[in-house]
Chain A
Amino acid sequence: MSDLLAARSQMAMSLGFHILFAAVGIGMPLLMVIAEGLYLRTKDPVYLLLAKKWSKGTAVLFAIGAVSGTVLSFELGLLWPKFMAQYGSVIGMPFSMEGFAFFLEAIFLGIYMYGWKRVPAIVHLLSGVAVLFSGIFSGLFVICANGFMNTPAGFRIEDGKIVDIDPWAAMFNPAALAEGLHMTTAAFLSVAFLVAGIHAFMLLKDSKNPFHRAALGIALAVAAPMSVLQGATGHMAGETVGETQPVKLAAMEAHWETERWAPFRIGGWPDVERQETRYAIEIPGLMSFLSYGDPNAEVKGLKDFPKELHPPVPVVHVSFQIMIGAGVFMMAVAGMGVALGLWKRKLPDSPWFLKAVILASPMGMIAIEAGWVVTEVGRQPWIIQGVLKTADAVTPMPGLWAPFLAFSLLYLFLGATVVVLMINLVKHSPTFDENEA
């Protein structure tokens, strides 16, 4: 394994691990705040119990998110010191804001988790709201920095030197907004489905349990609008990629020829040797329309770009397909839930629907992982699009397979422990009798 590949793998693995917990850190506070708000309004103890149980699980996941995020903040320098030395200060603005957002998140999470009896009810609820918003902004700021890597802005290069740094322009780069919104809705959607799936699973065995019914209701109420927003923000992100990173768009769609009426491909396997994509279902003009609002618009194909600037097309295309598929599936399940709920005027709880929710449960997290693969692998060979190659940014440190292996084992071990712990937590969720008593 080359050092560059080891560094890339370590970064990918660290990001892939952290993003799951980061999403939980954004999504769970919303669910907890809703549950607690409902308790304060209705005084129904089930909601209080729910808020407390959810916060118990969140405490563990948040801790893992905080420490794995710390790892990332160091890894930028440990693995990509050349990137940092040159562009660290250009993209520093969102990172310094993120520092504060994360600080507030940790402070108010402490108050939320351990302050149930120490602060007044309304202060407690507001602490939850503070966690929610600092979590959202924390994510948005980090994504501004990622947007910079995709659409660098706010500086000029003169005689090999970076001059005229405008940190605000760097922060509000063209990709920042679309990416930020897409990821924020993704966090809410995936967490809502994850939670809905867990409680749906429990309801299959214990269909009258008011605790799980309340939980499923809240989770679905968040999932439904988010699944629609997810499509909208995804469309926005797609358009931005089309405007700013045409190679990435072409790789996502496994699109080789520059043409009008470019088709949207469902499935298919890109053959890099022959530069064609086989076995795909093609919907003519849809890609042109989705990317540029006009089915007759010309979409650039991969053949128009030098081969050495192509990202690994199969990885990007397949990941993109997984993301879209998972998103459509979640939207369908959420739509069914809304239809069933409106029709029967009660929580949709038929066993087949609960099973569909369970099936959709991991889809959000899978889509998040796939989406990050699209963004990051789709930008290769660049670490900053068109400006700095990944290979030129890597640390001179030899033997990088060692930290990669060590962190992989560490995260594998932590991941397994978290899963066991969460199963344990779900197993000990309240039964119907306890609620009656």
Chain B
Amino acid sequence: MSYELLLAGILVVALVAYSVTAGADFGGGVWDLLAFGPRARAQREMIARAVAPIWEANHVWLIFVIVVLFVCFTPVYAVIGTALHIPLTLMLFGIVLRGAAFAFRSYHYGPKQFYWDAVFAISSLVTPVALGMCVGAVASGAIDADVDGTVRSDFFSSWLAPFPVSVGAFTLIEFSFLAACYLTLEAEHEALREDFRLRAIGSGILTAVLGWLAFALAYQGAPLIFAGIAGNVMLIAGISVVALSAVGALFARKYRLAQILAISQVSLVVLGWANAQFPYLVVPDLTVHNAHASDAVMEGALAVLAIGSVVLVPSFVYLYAVFKGWRQQG
């Protein structure tokens, strides 16, 4: 296998990792916004407790993706930075405000609490939508660029179109579904667990609706993706079965199973997208084959990735074992 294919594979793995970890943290923010009823306070506190020790580490998966693009697929980084300047800036605002608000509000200083709750929740909403729109734009084929990093298309039309917007909405709801599934396992008493069970079922169904909508819009908005997914019956069947089973598991109150199925569903969506888009990194001009760095650079990067992973993977697993260990939950 050539270096560039290996690195593209690593990119996909990191995107899956980001979605199933940091994605759920953003989803948590959505449920913070939608906290209501007699247990609203308890819901918010539980979300904060669940997210606090891990969100910063989860967030680094995004940096990881950026760094691999930056180093090994440099023109892709430059083209995305230019063509998607506006949605990326929006996403950064979301990231900064979400992180800052989360840190600030852990101080509980007086009446301003409500204000930081609002900032936290709204920025948690903006970030996944902007991220999804960027993904949609990259897949749509509307970014006209050269392998030297020059962008010829404008700064709006690629991402401000029905398909990218639908991907943004889908990303938001998908992350919320994931978060709700995770939160059923964090709940300390039955009533709270039931709250998130219902939220998970609701958002699970909405995820399916938005998923089909995005798929339909891809027919016009991202023909390559549409063809790739439509031609892959196994993928559609797989995602559907897993998604239905996840909702089924929630009905049956099999929370651990529902979590595993939700993770599988999100992973399959990312893998399916990557598979449909292959070998394009930015459709239609940049591919894995024409946008990669020289062998010396990729060799170095792979060496760093290999050595780094030896330290990173056990550390990341340990973090989860300490805070999300099987013993503490469900």
Query: Contact residues of A with B, CB < 8 Å?
Result: 59-60, 62-64, 66-68, 70-71, 73-74, 76-78, 81-82, 84-86, 88-90, 92-93, 95-100, 102-104, 106-111, 113-115, 118-119, 130, 165-168, 395-397, 403, 406, 410, 414, 417, 421, 424-425
Contact = CB atoms under 8 A, between A and B. Distances in A.
A395 B82 contact: yes
B40 interface: no
A202 B265 CA distance: 55
Contact of B53 (A76, A82, A85, A113): A113
Contact of A115 (B70, B71, B80, B322): B322
A45 B52 CA distance: 26
B70 A167 contact: no
Contact of B70 (A86, A92, A97, A425): A92
Nearest to B91: A74
19 contacts: A59-B103, A63-B99, A63-B100, A68-B96, A70-B92, A73-B70, A85-B149, A92-B70, A95-B67, A95-B71, A96-B301, A96-B308, A110-B57, A118-B323, A130-B315, A167-B296, A167-B300, A410-B96, A417-B104
B315 A417 contact: no
B72 A63 contact: no
B95 A59 contact: no
A78 B63 contact: no
A93 B71 contact: yes
Given A107-B318, A110-B319, 11 more contacts: A64-B103, A67-B99, A74-B66, A85-B77, A88-B71, A97-B308, A103-B315, A111-B318, A397-B85, A410-B97, A424-B107
Interface in B75-94: 75, 77-82, 85, 88-89, 92-93
Given A64-B103, A82-B149, A93-B300, A102 B96 contact: no
A148 to B, nearest CB: 13
Contacts of B157: none
Nearest to B58: A106
B260 interface: no
Nearest to B97: A410
Contacts of A396: 82, 151
B57 A103 contact: yes
Contacts of B64: 99, 103
A167 B297 contact: yes
Contact of B56 (A73, A106, A397, A410): A106
Between A74, A78, A90, the greatest number of chain B beta carbons within 10 A of the residue's beta carbon is seen for A74
B59 interface: yes
Contacts of A403: 85, 89
Contacts of A110: 53-54, 56-57, 319, 323
A314 to B, nearest CB: 33
Contact of B96 (A67, A89, A100): A67
Given A67-B100, A76-B70, A99 B77 contact: no
B53 A115 contact: yes
Main secondary structure of the interface of B (DSSP, over half): helix
Interface residues of B, number: 62
Interface of B: 52-54, 56-57, 59-60, 62-64, 66-68, 70-72, 74-75, 77-82, 85, 88-89, 92-93, 95-100, 102-104, 106-107, 109, 148-149, 151, 155, 293-294, 296-297, 300-301, 304-305, 308, 311-312, 315-316, 318-319, 322-323
Chain A interface mostly: helix
B297 A395 contact: no
B322 A119 contact: yes
A109 B296 CA distance: 34
Nearest to A110: B53
A102 to B, nearest CB: 6
B99 A100 contact: no
B41 to A, nearest CB: 21
Contacts of A165: 293-294, 296-297
Contact of A84 (B72, B149, B318): B149
A66 B311 CA distance: 20
Max chain A Cβ within 10 angstroms of own Cβ: one of B63, B68, B102:
B63
A104 B96 CA distance: 20
Contacts of B80: 77
A71 B62 CA distance: 12
A371 to B, nearest CB: 25
A76 B74 CA distance: 11
A94 B66 CA distance: 14
B24 to A, nearest CB: 15
B304 A96 contact: yes
Contacts of A71: 92, 95-96
B312 A103 contact: yes
Nearest to B109: A424
Given A84-B78, A115-B53, A106 B59 contact: yes
Contacts of A106: 56-57, 59-60
A115 B85 CA distance: 39
A157 to B, nearest CB: 14
B321 to A, nearest CB: 10
A111 B92 contact: no
B9 to A, nearest CB: 16
A66 B56 CA distance: 8
A73 B66 contact: yes
A86 B74 CA distance: 8
Nearest to A77: B81
B315 A73 contact: no
A67 B78 contact: no
A71 B95 CA distance: 9
A34 B190 CA distance: 43
Given A81-B81, A84-B74, A397-B155, A99 B297 contact: no
A206 to B, nearest CB: 23
A88 B293 CA distance: 9
Contacts of A103: 57, 60, 63-64, 308, 312, 315-316
B78 A104 contact: no
B184 to A, nearest CB: 21
Contact of A99 (B60, B81, B296): B60
Contacts of B304: 93, 96-97, 100
A208 to B, nearest CB: 28
A78 B305 contact: no
Contacts of B100: 63-64, 67, 414, 417
A95 B78 contact: no
A84 B77 contact: yes
Contacts of B99: 63-64, 66-67
Given A85-B78, A89-B74, A111 B53 contact: yes
Contacts of A113: 52-53
